[in-house]
């Protein structure tokens, strides 16, 4: 019995419709996200090395889509491209193994020197006098603040102007001793960035 071209085309469409209906019965939509490449061969379990060719086979099983990655030896032993003829295999390809990149370090909160100084000024906590001084000097070195004058009546106070906004900051000079200056610098840097290991130098001698 001979079929017309139209009948043959219709048979092919019917075949693929039946195939996909069966596929959906086995693999619900949430199973369509294929898992990442394995770090070792799915058959011999030998670890892949960087730039090693690896062969990936995608198979449809009752539980959903299954990905397997093979080294060259296991791929050849499995029949190579002939694996496509095995039941359930719907795709295969060759790739190059690239080791996964190490996860990025957990982001550490980085405080902004200016916003930290503003909050300290608002809190007006005497225990933060030294930290406010260090922050002001840091911002001066970054050309965010400009030292305008030093008031010496009733204690030494430094008058700063914010170069962008024109705001005035008045910072009490705590008269830090040299042996305490470095410790305070490290403490302030730790507030700004807990991962920092070196303090930014602050030249307070110019205000004395």
Contact 26, 64 (CB under 8 A): yes
Q: Per residue in 164-199, is it b (16+ CB within 10 Å) or e — as a string?
A: eeeeebebbbbebeeeebeebbbebbebbeeeeeeb
pLDDT higher than 90, residue 168: no
Contact 187, 131 (CB under 8 A): yes
d(CA 120, CA 193): 17
Q: Average pLDDT for residues 106-124, to the nearest whole number? A: 76
Contacts for 7 with CB less than 8 Å, ≥ 6 apart: none
Sign of CA dihedral 145, 146, 148, 154: positive
Measuring CA to CA, which residue among 186, 202, 206 is closest to residue 136?
Answer: 202
Q: Which residue has the tokens 């290991």?
A: 197
State whether residue 112 is helix, strand or coil: coil
Q: Average pLDDT for residues 51-66, to the nearest whole number? A: 82
User: Does the predicted TM-score (pTM) go above 0.75?
Assistant: no
pLDDT band at residue 132 under the 50/70/90 scheme: very high
pLDDT higher than 70, residue 14: no
CA distances from 68 to 91, 92, 94, 128, 137 (A): 11, 9, 12, 60, 60
pLDDT band at residue 10 under the 50/70/90 scheme: low
pLDDT higher than 60, residue 67: yes
Length of the chain: 208
């Amino acid at each position: 019995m001979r079929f017309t071209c139209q009948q043959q085309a219709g048979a092919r469409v019917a075949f693929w419709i039946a195939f996909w209906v069966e596929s959906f019965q086995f693999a619900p939509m949430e199973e369509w996200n294929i898992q990442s490449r394995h770090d070792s061969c799915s058959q011999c379990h030998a670890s892949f090395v960087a730039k090693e060719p690896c062969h990936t086979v995608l198979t449809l099983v009752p539980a959903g889509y299954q990905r397997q990655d093979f080294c060259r030896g296991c791929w050849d032993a499995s029949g190579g491209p002939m694996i496509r003829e095995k039941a359930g295999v719907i795709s295969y390809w060759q790739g190059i193994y690239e080791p996964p990149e190490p996860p990025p370090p957990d982001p550490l909160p980085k405080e902004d020197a200016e916003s930290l100084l503003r909050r300290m000024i608002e809190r007006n906590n005497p225990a933060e006098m030294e930290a406010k001084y260090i922050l002001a000097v840091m911002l001066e070195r970054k050309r965010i603040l400009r030292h305008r004058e030093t008031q010496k009546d009733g204690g030494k106070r430094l008058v700063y102007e914010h170069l962008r906004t024109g705001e005035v900051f008045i910072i009490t000079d705590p008269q830090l001793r040299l042996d305490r200056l470095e410790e305070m610098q490290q403490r302030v840097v730790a507030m700004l960035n807990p991962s920092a290991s070196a303090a930014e130098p602050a030249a307070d001698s110019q205000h004395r």
